[in-house]
């Protein structure tokens, strides 16, 4: 057994996020595939378009959020909801324009240690800015 200290909170990089996004790593060591992060999005903040090689589960814990799969509608997400995206499914997730949103993100890296393949930022038109 090991009581582990908490890693410092890390800001999501501007290359792959719009707005203020902060990560707290719960687990993600060098010798395991599992990744679990708490991710906090400020109002209007969101990921860029991306996909995960082994899929991803999101568990919304606070606030109001939005998520969209490529070709689908922008969907509102709320605390208690669990959202699964399949391996290779292109999508984005973030806060609503008028609320913070926190989710726990759970995924596995692939054989090369990759978590995601990143694409373009989500434009304001794509984001839509629907109020919740």
Structure tokens at 48: 């860029």
Which CB sits closer to Mn ion, 2 or 120?
A: 120
Which CB sits closer to Mn ion, 37 or 56?
A: 56
Phi, psi (degrees; rounded to nearest 5) at 126? -65, -40
Count the site residues for Mn ion by CB under 5 A.
Answer: 1
Cite the beta strand spans of the chain per DSSP E: 10-11, 17-18, 21-27, 34-41, 46-47, 50-51, 56-63, 65-69, 75-77, 82-85, 91-95, 101-108, 117-118
Q: Using the rule CB under 5 A, which residue among 37, 56, 102, 115 binds Mn ion?
A: 56
Which CB sits closer to Mn ion, 56 or 68?
A: 56
Contact predicate 92/50, CB 8 Å: yes
CB of 95 to Mn ion, least distance (A): 14
CB of 106 to Mn ion, least distance (A): 11
Q: Is 37 in the site for Mn ion (CB under 5 A)?
A: no
Pick the piece of the chain touching Mn ion (CB under 5 A) from 1-9, 56-64, 71-79, 117-125. 56-64
CB of 1 to Mn ion, least distance (A): 32
- Whose CA is closest to 19, among 121, 108, 125, 128? 121
* Site of interaction with Mn ion (CB under 5 A): 56
């Amino acid at each position: 057994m090991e009581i582990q200290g908490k890693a410092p909170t890390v800001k999501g990089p501007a290359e792959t996020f719009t707005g203020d996004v902060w990560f707290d790593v719960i687990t993600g060591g060098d010798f395991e595939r599992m990744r679990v992060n708490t991710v906090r999005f400020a109002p209007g903040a969101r990921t860029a378009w991306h996909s995960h090689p082994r899929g991803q589960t999101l568990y919304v814990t606070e606030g109001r959020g939005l998520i969209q799969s490529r070709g689908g509608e922008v969907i509102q997400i709320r605390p208690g909801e669990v959202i699964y995206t399949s391996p290779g499914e292109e999508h984005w997730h973030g806060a609503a324009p008028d609320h913070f949103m926190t989710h726990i993100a759970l995924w596995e890296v692939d054989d090369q240690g990759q978590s995601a393949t990143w694409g373009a930022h989500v434009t304001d038109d794509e984001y839509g800015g629907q109020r919740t």
